[in-house]
Homo-oligomer: A and B are copies of this chain.
Amino acid sequence: MKRTLGVCYYPEHWSEEIWATDAKRMVETGLTWVRIGEFAWSRMEPAPEKFEWDWLDRAIEVLGSAGLKIILGTPTATPPRWMLDKYPDMLAYDAEGRARKFGSRRHYCFSHQAYRAEARRITKLMAERYGASPHLAAWQTDNEYDCHDTAISYSHHALIAFQDWCAQRYQSPTALNAAWGNVFWSMEYDDFSQLELPNQTVTEANPSHVLAFRRFSSDQVVLFNQAQCDEIRKYSTAPIIHNFMGRITSFDHYDVGADLDISSWDSYPMGFLLDRVGANDTDKAHYLRQGDPDFQAFHHDLYRATSAGRCWVMEQQPGPVNWAPWNPAPLPGMPRLWAWEAFAHGAETVCYFRWRQAPFAQEQMHAGLLLPDSTPAPALAEAAQVASELESMPDVGCARASVALVFDYDSAYAWETQPQGADFDYFQLVFDCYRALRRAGLSIDIVSKDVDPAAYKLTFAPGLLTVPDSLAGGVVIAGPRTGSKTEEFHIPAGLAPEISGLQTKVTYVESLPPFAPMPIAGGGAFEKWRESIETNDTIILRLMDGSPAAVRANDLIYLAGWPNPNLWHRILLELASEISLTVLDLPRGLRVRDTDTHRFWFNYGPSVTTYGSMTLTPAGVYWEEL
């Protein structure tokens, strides 16, 4: 498959006189796609029902006739100021009960029915007008759901919708009381109208209550997105895309992704490095201008799964951004490397954000491919290089993987609700496993819990809340905490882990402070979490005192703790020999990814790396045919 590049562009920010030149330069750079429109509601509809489409008509015509394919975004992330006059109660509320006011973006509550109807209305108008345009090649719904923590709202509208959601799910207060165990602390309800949102309780709310609210909140995002998809599909056959973000666990991306044709995400490797993957200062310094070597790969693999295999990068960082605590510049070559890493993981298209750096408003310190004075920024040449390289390489192949790793949003909600240890974080647990697999040179599919393990040599499911019976038929590595609760967040009647085929039971768990890891006999250690188990299965790892640390029943392995990096590697090595899996031990910063046609190598380190006969410069990318 031919991979392509694109860019994000805001014609409404610039004099119409330069649109044509911009379009021409985009094409000359080798870009195929241009995304427009997603923040321009106040220019499309400056007053209620007063429309100004002509400028957008012309922008699409200028860009399209220059040879660019248009991705048109619905502008629902930025309702105009007049919308607030119409619906003063449309705002989201934070957990402290404060309205989240107008003056930036995403100032709406997903549960506000009238605003959802407004979003559907503007989407319908755009779809009607542009759905048949020859230039219109894709749609984007809204922009970055949950950005600025907006998926979860504690508004009055959210409350009413939650009461209704509970009524639908549980049918009676008695059933809800039983499902949540409300007899505990006399928390029983007589009527759904008595239900409140689980914020501002005296101490922690019932975890079943919180979990229900998290599922409800996710469903509201799904419904909001669905309304737009429904309208678009009435008028257009172009694929529908949403641009997800990294490390977001506030809604179920599989559920939203199911309504899309393509999942995309916005990849900002450097901002995430410093505050979102718990790197230590040494790693932060080492990767300061390159970003974490596994973070982008993880999300490419994740979002390849959420819309049945089709994925993009909708926004690719081109230079320093404006929103991280510190914002250094990428090492020269990284904007190219990041794009190639995306393609190697199956991305069809990578769009750089943004064409020209805006000289005003919130993001004026966010780099683009051009400087505000239209001269080239450093990334422009890198984009052109990628375009030229793609030109000479008709197919980079499809991503393929021999190991699978389950990522499950319900599990994220559950452990955020009741972590039991201050640093028990589901994303981090799965990401630690992912990093170990990457370090071992493996290509990975991230999958939902509906995966068929028979399709892979190994399937990992750490921390999976509940385990379906279908999760069997291949080598499955479960634990810690896998299958430890019921759907409604009770301890299973037969105790954890509730995994078919296992004769092991957790008698108690320990969350471990950072200074108290528990070493494993033979090497490695548990950190953060350890389970005391009674077992009739084969014990394959033991703590230093001889108590069981991991067990095996046929193809099912259960880890009774959170492995540190050395233990993950040891487990992999031991399994690899059994199942004829080639496991590497890559030097720091070197990463590899296979497609069905090529093997790609990436150097995330700040200096030259050699590996076998290969030498990669910093930010170096190398590929070979398989």
Contacts and interface: CB of A to CB of B under 8 A. Distances in A.
Given A183-B12, A508-B319, A511-B328, A201 B100 contact: yes
B186 A327 contact: no
A188 B42 contact: yes
A187 B516 contact: no
A624 interface: no
B79 A196 contact: no
Chain A contact residues: helix, strand, loop or mixed: loop
A187 B328 CA distance: 29
A509 B320 CA distance: 7
B512 A206 contact: no
Contact of A103 (B209, B420, B495): B209
Q: How many copies does the complex hold?
A: 3
Task: Give the size category of A's interface with B.
Answer: 35 or more
A422 B82 CA distance: 35
A323 to B, nearest CB: 8
Contact of A204 (B194, B285, B362, B420): B362
A46 B183 CA distance: 11
A1 interface: no
A43 B186 contact: yes
A224 to B, nearest CB: 16
A490 B364 contact: yes
Interface in A202-228: 202-209
Given A103-B198, A206-B361, A361-B182, A513 B13 contact: no
A325 B513 contact: yes
A102 interface: yes
A493 B81 contact: no
B13 A184 contact: yes
Interface stretch (A243-251, A257-265, A366-374, A396-404): A366-374
Interface stretch (A91-99, A463-471, A566-574): A91-99
Contact of A85 (B194, B359, B363): B194
A359 B81 contact: no
A373 B508 contact: no
A358 B184 contact: yes
A146 to B, nearest CB: 11
* Residue from A13, A92, A187, A199 whose CB has the most chain B CB atoms within 10 Å: A187
Interface stretch (A21-29, A104-112, A428-436): A104-112
Given A100-B202, A181-B358, A325-B422, 4 more contacts: A39-B186, A102-B196, A103-B209, A150-B202
Closest 4 CB pairs of A and B: A181-B360, A184-B361, A42-B186, A359-B491
30 contacts: A13-B184, A42-B183, A43-B186, A80-B186, A81-B188, A92-B202, A101-B202, A103-B196, A104-B201, A104-B205, A184-B361, A185-B362, A207-B362, A207-B364, A281-B515, A284-B513, A285-B515, A319-B508, A320-B508, A320-B510, A322-B420, A327-B421, A327-B511, A329-B508, A329-B532, A359-B493, A360-B489, A364-B490, A377-B508, A378-B508
Interface of A: 10, 12-13, 39-43, 46-47, 75, 78-82, 84-85, 92, 96-107, 147-148, 150, 180-190, 194, 196, 198-209, 274, 281, 284-285, 288, 319-320, 322, 325-329, 357-365, 367, 371-373, 377-378, 418, 420-422, 489-495, 507-513, 515-516, 532
